Structure 1
Amino acid sequence: MKLFRVFSVLLIFILIAWVPMSCKKKYTPKPKAYFRIDFPQKEYKNWNLDFPFSFDRLSMTKIAKDQSRDAEKYWINIQYPEYRATIHLSYKTIDQNLEEYLEDSRKLAYKHSIVADAIAEQLYINPKENVYGTIYRITGNAASSIQFTATDSTKHFLRGALYFKERPNRDSLAPVIKFIDKDIVRLIESLKWK
């Protein structure tokens, strides 16, 4: 009987201590968040070297000659070091093979359709500067989110592709892609052939 009383009193104390703890707000884990990215004010300057083309580029970018094994003379990379992003530009001279270059570029863009949610094409036409192009915006977790071509249809052909040195994650890269997309549009709009 004495043991029963001790046990009952102990049980009451445990219940009294437990009830206030159980009324507290339950913890719900928060989803993974991404750092806020503060973008600088955009300032462009013209890039004009001994190349068959010139364009405006964001002043914070760095331009380097493409060092890949199969790189040709006029291939360059526009680097965004802070965002670990690079726009790879490859230039070719047209010798009655424009259709081949355009089809190869289209295939390279649509190669990402396996992992892409959608691919939107936007045409660009500037008869004054003789620049005609297409921008491919690839949504989803594709390795390249923007690709483009520009040509004068007779002599010059330029192809570009944006890549990140990060695992493709559309949610975390979306603000940076949007930031760089405007630079790509500016590049095409300011493109001049020599």
Structure 2
Amino acid sequence: MKIVKFIYATTLVLLISSCKNDAIPKPDAFLSLEYPTATYASYTHPNCNFKFNKNTNATIKPEEACSFKIDYPKMKASIYMNYRPVNNNLMLLLKDAQKLTYNHTIKADDIQESVFEHPEKKVYGMFYRVIGDAATNVQFYATDSTKNFVVGTLYFYAKPNFDSIYPATKYIEDDMKKIMETLEWTNN
């Protein structure tokens, strides 16, 4: 009888101890971020001489007379828009806009420039993508060369880490391209 109890006890111990799950590492994965589909509506600033289409998921927050930000609260990001009239100072305005971009060469891995021209609407400018851990990854300026000059700059409210913010950067970059494509001067 002792042998039968010993066999049952041994079998029971073996069954219980053999039911462990081995630890299996989780496979590599990418962060799944989903942003709402962008829809656009026309926006005309009450104090400035331009209008454009903006993403309806973003909100406008006034700053100064002709400066405002387009806020993306869920992404903790904003596009800062600054309008300046051209009064024989176009070269200075261009220099300042380019300086803003090239101040990031210390942290940037690359700066990609795209010339923008829309002669029918008299909109000419430059679109910049700053690759790397810079404070701003997307910037643009646009002008009609005679009366109007506007600059747009994307900032995140977080320490720059290009890989982490790339999906949000790409989403807002598309919005900034839409701003440039739909920009119209209201005083021409």
The residue number in structure 2 matching 1:42 is 38
Q: Secondary structure at the match of 1:112?
A: helix
Matches within 5 A, 1:72-83: 72-83=64-75
User: When the two structures are superposed, what TM-score results if normalisation uses the length of structure 2?
Assistant: 0.83
**Gapped regions of structure 1 (runs ≥ 5):** 1-23, 67-71
User: When the two structures are superposed, what TM-score results if normalisation uses the length of structure 1?
Assistant: 0.80
The residue identity in structure 1 corresponding to 2:55 is L
The residue number in structure 2 matching 1:60 is 57
CA RMSD of aligned residues (A): 2.2
The partner residue of 1:149 within 141, 152, 166 is 141
- Following the alignment from structure 2 to structure 1, what is the Cα–Cα distance between the partners of residues 120 and 161? 38
- Following the alignment from structure 2 to structure 1, what is the Cα–Cα distance between the partners of residues 146 and 22? 70
Q: Secondary structure at the match of 1:189?
A: helix
Q: CA deviation at 1:93?
A: 0.4
The residue identity in structure 2 corresponding to 1:63 is I
Q: CA deviation at 1:114?
A: 0.1
> What do the CA deviations read for 1:99-142 (whole angstroms, capped 9, x no partner)?
11101111110000000000011010000000001011000000
Q: CA deviation at 1:92?
A: 0.3
Q: CA deviation at 1:49?
A: 3.6
The partner residue of 1:109 within 97, 101, 107 is 101
Q: Secondary structure at the match of 1:144?
A: coil
Q: Secondary structure at the match of 2:33?
A: coil
**Gapped regions of structure 2 (runs ≥ 5):** 1-20
The residue number in structure 2 matching 1:92 is 84
Does 1:171 find its partner at 2:168?
no
Question: How many aligned residue pairs are there?
Answer: 168
Percentage of identical aligned residues = 36
Q: Is 1:56–1:190's contact at 8 Å kept on the other side of the alignment?
A: yes
Q: Secondary structure at the match of 1:128?
A: helix
Matches within 5 A, 1:182-193: 182-193=174-185
Q: Which runs of 4+ in 1 moved over 3 A?
A: 24-31
